Chain A
Amino acid sequence: MSPPPKIKIRVRFRRDGKIRFISHRDTARLMERAIRKIGLPIAYSEGFSPRPRIAFGLALTVAYESDAEFLDIDLVTPVDCEGLPERLTDALPDGLTVDAAVPLENGSESLQQAIVSCSWLVEVLGSHRAPAEPADDVTTDTAGALGANVDEDIAALVVAVEEAVAAVLAAPELPLERERKGKVTVADVRPAILDLEVTGPTEHGVQLNAVLATETVTLRPAELVRVLGDEFREGRVRRTHQWTRVDGIEQEPVNPSSANRSAELAGMRDS
Chain B
Amino acid sequence: MKKQKYNIQVFAAGVLSLKETPGGYFKMKLAASGIAKAARPGQFISLQVNASGMPLMRRPMGIFSANKGAVEILFKAAGKGTEMLSRKKQGESVSVLGPLGNGFSVREELRHAILVAGGYGVSPIAFLYEELRKRKITTTVIIGAKNKKLIFKEGFSNPIITTEDGSEGFKGLVTERLNAACAGFACGSSAVFACGPVPMLKAAAEVSEKHGIECQVSMESLMACGVGVCLSCVCAVKEGMDTGYKRICADGPVFDSREIVWRT
A in complex with B? no
Residues on B lying within 8 angstroms of A by beta carbon are: none
Residues on A lying within 8 angstroms of B by beta carbon are: none
